[in-house]
Structure 1
């Protein structure tokens, strides 16, 4: 019997799993640097599962970047993919390529109660869009809309590249300090792993501190050990994230709630939950009341991208059944 395969491919790692009976099976992670192409990595994965080429009928891959045409070039990776060549090589009947944040958004429909933490209390309006936002290597932003009958629509976008919003003179000074190095300051310029370091250098420059920390991990570790400068960096990071998330809710009418995903925030989850995120999220002047009651959740699930790829594949195959 033929099976389906799902993948979530980033710049550093590719995650693959079999999708069977509406669930993930046999998840494995492959460093992209160790393989010349996704076909090679998937071939190794299938062999490990005792499957030969031709035994996988359908594949859905979540990939970083806009998806169109036959060829896709992976962001931050040497991998390339031709749809036609991929299907021929692996003898696959159906290949679905989707944006990685489309998959992440769809993955929110599969969350279990122990995979989320409440950030802002509220009741989601299931008839309205939900916002999915994730600081990681970059800043991903997506939209999830329920269509009824257990069907969902995920809208990808490039919301991580909107201008960074500021709400105080201090934030304006920080933004200007960063602009001296980067020029245009997008939300992603600050709200990402590399952005954490930019924020640290800006605060050091404004306050006359000699920078001693050289990586995002060092900043996080220092904050967790009560370093005052690192703590301010984390606090300001959380406040900027609150402003960006609140802007998205206003833009989309996103009263379905906000899901915070990605690899950055879980590293300092307790600091985040005690931060000024919620205050900045709702700091919208005459529209502040609109943000009241919009729930915000911190997602801790490990394989939301893979789960979302499974949902996307299931919906696509159902449409062609």
Structure 2
């Protein structure tokens, strides 16, 4: 009976070759198998710090019980095609992560894993390509506005860093932008933000948007506010704990930290919308904002998004959405891999 099932599985997989998909961040590496069009299974999240390199993490995933249970035929029909979204610029064969120590050659990784195809793209390029595939229940609109069809769609997302991308309509397809927009210079909009910036300048000569609008940014804002209030002996809190205490209202400094974070994100998202003419909407990804829930919805984000002087009416018409899908990057990286493998059924 097992032999008959294996033959049936191999026949199915020959029509829909299983593919390895990965979303690599500065903290976690997320993996999945795609056993058919948008059929993601064997999803596993591994801590990057637990592995010496990406090759070791992928090997651990492929040899896991999770994969073997989802795809028992892996020994007879190994994975041959893979796509990786990574939180890093991808330019050429050598990839060196910005917010982690992993470094690898794409060609050597491909050969070492026995793959025929390995596509490596920026994580926010992949996430941008996922936007057309999101279902209504996988996003939440914040504020007003109405998306115009077949127009540029912007994407921004704070996590370990600050990702920025967009997709541009090109006939029946979308073209993603590879961007490092999170590293633009931070610009304050009021006296309080200027005071924060002046304090941060003491430590960092160049303060990027990512420096403040990210997980590490939440921690930096918190420390700076404590110093400004004379609380020099305050404990250093991780971003997750600052968010938790802001959500339960137990710490006024944490609440103020998240309020600044949301407002700053609104300013940068509005800058992105104007720069790109993103009348198709602006989406917010990353791991931080979805966890803030109603706190984010009632923050100054949307007010700051629209606060562009003479262009306030222009921005008021552009909708902003929080992505709530659990693993949206898999949709995008799958679409990119499909474009690279036009002759392979998927």
Change (3 A) 1:312 1:211: farther
In 1: Cα distance, 2:223 partner to 2:103 partner: 35
- 2:89 equivalent in structure 1: 66
Instruction: Tell me which residue corresponds to 2:146.
Output: 123
- SS for the counterpart of 2:34 is strand
Q: How many residues align?
A: 320
Higher share of residues assigned strand: 1
Q: Which segment drifts farther, 100-109 or 237-246?
A: 100-109
Q: Per the alignment, in what secondary structure is the counterpart of residue 15 of structure 1? A: strand
Unaligned runs of 5+ in 1: none
The aligned counterpart of 2:254 is 230
Q: Cα gap change, 1:153/1:211 in structure 2, threshold over 3 Å: closer, same or farther?
A: farther
Report the 3-state secondary structure (helix = DSSP H, G, I; strand = E; otherwise coil) of the residue aligned with 1:182.
coil
User: 1:164 and 1:319, CA in 2 relative to 1: closer, same or farther beyond 3 A?
Assistant: farther
Distance 1:117 1:78, change over 3 A: same
After superposition, the Cα gap between the structure-2 partners of 1:169 and 1:37, relative to the gap in structure 1 and judged at 3 Å, is closer
Change (3 A) 1:34 1:175: closer
- Residue 52 of structure 1 and its aligned partner are, at CA, apart by 3.2
Q: SS state of the match for residue 294, structure 1?
A: coil
* Kept in 2: contact 1:9–1:62 (CA 8 A): yes
Which segment drifts farther, 276-285 or 3-12? 3-12
Partner residue in 1 for 2:234:
212
Structure-2 residue corresponding to 1:275: 299
Distance in 1 (CA, whole Å) between partners of 2:310 and 2:343 is: 44
> 1:20-46 CA deviation, whole Å, 9 max, x = no partner?
321122212222333333333333333
* Mapped partners of 1:173, 1:53: distance in 2: 62
Contact 2:266/2:305 (<8 A) preserved: yes
- Calculate the aligned-residue CA RMSD, in Å: 2.2
Query: Is it true that 1:17 corresponds to 2:52 in the alignment?
Result: no
Alpha-carbon offset, residue 54 of structure 1:
6.3
Alpha-carbon separation, structure 2, partners of 1:68 and 1:54: 31
Q: CA deviation at 1:172?
A: 1.5
Q: Is 2:56 the partner of 1:40?
A: yes
Note if contact 1:17-1:28 (Cα within 8 Å) is conserved in structure 2. Answer: yes
After TM superposition, the runs of 4+ consecutive aligned structure 1 residues lying more than 4 A away are none
